[in-house]
Amino acid sequence: MTLSVADKKILIQSKGLRIPWEVEKELAQRFAGVESDYPSFFLEGSTPVGLLNGFYTEASPFELRRHCKGYAIFCDDEPFAEVSFLPRTPFLDRRTSRGIAMRRIVKMVAPGFPIIYLNTGCMYWGEKQCKFCVVGHIDTEKFKNPEDVAETVEAGVKDGGIKTHVALTSGALPKDKAIDLLAATVKAIKERVDIPVSVNLEPPRDLGKLEMLADADSIYLNMEVYDPAARKRFLPGKSEFSPEYYFRAFKACLDIFEENQVCSVLLAGLESDESYLRGVEALAERGVLPVTTPFYPALLSKLADEKPPSAERMRRIYERSVEIIRAYGLDPFKTKAGFMRGGAIFALKEVWKEM
C-alpha cells in the first residue's frame, strides 16, 4: 500500500523519530531546527514536520539515518521517507548589540519561521502547572528584551533564515504582564521589518488589554482541552478560565483581528474524541480556527510516560476537524502567522489537501 505524505507525517508524529546522537550533532552544525527532543524538517520535499520526542520515541520504528548523500527516515530498517532540513544561516552565529547570542533567542522550525519564547516560566508552575508543559518557574532574568528579539528577527529576515512569519509566545505571568511583553515585542519587530507576527498567550484578566496586540497579525488563545473535567485534571491552573471566559475573549479578539487570524490549539488525546470534536465545533462556530494537534508527552513533563494518540485515531480526528472547519467557512491556509501558518506540528493541512 502506498502511503500519502499525510499518512507518513501522522505515523511519524504518533510514534516519534529516533535520532542517533552522532547524526544530531552532525546535523546541528549544518542545519537549523534539528534537536532530538524537538526536531523539525521537511518530509518528501516540502512538507514541514515538527514533533516533540519523548520516552515513547525509544520504541519507535522510525529512525533518522544518513542515506546516499543526504538523510532519510527508516522504518524497521527499510527506507521510509526522504527528509531535508532548514539551512542554517549566518544570523544564528551573530550576537545582538547587547551581546545576546541570536541562536538563544529563536527556535527555528520548518518551513522557516522562529518560535520565540519571550519568557521562561509560568506563574502556575508547581501544583497548578499544565501536565504536558515543560516551561518551568518564572525567571525574570531570562525575559527577552524586545529590542534583542527585533534585532534578531531583522537579521534572520535579511539573511534568508526567517522566511515567512514569526511566532511569539509567553508563559502565563501575573497581572496580565505577558501581554505587555508581547505588545512591546510586536511593536519593536514591526518598526524594523515587515513580517507577519503571531502572539500566543492565555486570555488576559482584563479583556480590554487585547487591544494592545492589535499590531500583531494572528492571535492564539489555546484552550488545549475542551471537556471541563479533563481541563481541571490536565490544566489545574489555566482551567480557572472557564470555556465561557475563553469564548468572551475570542469575541473580543474577533473585533480586533481579521477572519482566520484568531486560533486556538486543542490537544487531541487528553479527552474522548467526542468531547474533543465538540471543542473543535465550539471554536469553529464562533469563528475561531481550531488548531487540531496531537498531544506529545514531552520529556520532563508530568505526562512523560504517556504516548501520543495513535495514527488511526489522529487520521479520524483530522478528517472530522477538516469537515467542521470547512462547514463554518474558515480556512487554515489564510492564517498569516503562528502554528497554523507553519503547519509543522500537526497534519491537519496535509489531510485538508487530500479531502
Distance CA 170, CA 145 (A): 13
Q: Which is nearer to ligand SF4, 5 or 249 (CB)?
A: 249
3-class secondary structure, 132: coil
- 124 scored as a contact of ligand SF4 (CB under 6 A): yes
**Burial 269-300, CB ≥16 within 10 A → b, else e:** bbbeeeebbebbbbbbeebbbbbbbbbbbbbe
- 176 scored as a contact of ligand SF4 (CB under 6 A): no
CB of 83 to ligand SF4, least distance (A): 29
**Mask: binding to ligand SF4, 131-150, rule CB under 6 A, as x and -?**
--x-x---------------
Q: Which is nearer to ligand SF4, 123 or 189 (CB)?
A: 123
- 129 scored as a contact of ligand SF4 (CB under 6 A): yes
3-class secondary structure, 120: coil
* Residues contacting ligand SF4: total by CB under 6 A: 10
- 122 scored as a contact of ligand SF4 (CB under 6 A): yes
Q: Of the listed pieces 25-33, 61-69, 129-137, 279-287, which binds ligand SF4 according to CB under 6 A?
A: 129-137
Residues 6+ apart with CB under 8 A from 294: 13, 14, 267, 268, 269, 308, 309, 314, 346
Per DSSP (E only), the strands in 237-345 are 262-268, 289-294
Q: Of the listed pieces 125-133, 178-186, 256-264, 279-287, which binds ligand SF4 according to CB under 6 A?
A: 125-133
Q: Which is nearer to ligand SF4, 6 or 172 (CB)?
A: 172
Within residues 265-324, the interface with ligand SF4 by CB under 6 A covers none
- Grid cell 541570536 — which residue? 102
Q: Which region holds residue 252: left if phi is over 0, alpha if psi is between -120 and 50, else beta? A: alpha
Distance CA 77, CA 89 (A): 32
Q: Of the listed pieces 121-129, 159-167, 266-274, 320-328, which binds ligand SF4 according to CB under 6 A?
A: 121-129
Q: Which is nearer to ligand SF4, 147 or 202 (CB)?
A: 202
Q: Which is nearer to ligand SF4, 118 or 130 (CB)?
A: 130
Task: Determine whether 30 is exposed, middle or buried from the number of CB atoms within 10 Å of its CB (0-12, 13-18, 19+).
Answer: exposed
Please tell me what DSSP assigns to residue 124.
Answer: T
Within residues 231-260, the interface with ligand SF4 by CB under 6 A covers 238
- 181 scored as a contact of ligand SF4 (CB under 6 A): no
Distance CA 256, CA 210 (A): 8
Residue in 278, 209, 282 with CA at minimum distance from that of residue 249: 209
**Mask: binding to ligand SF4, 193-212, rule CB under 6 A, as x and -?**
---------x----------
- 111 scored as a contact of ligand SF4 (CB under 6 A): no
Enumerate binding residues for ligand SF4 (CB under 6 A): 122, 124, 129-130, 133, 135, 171-172, 202, 238
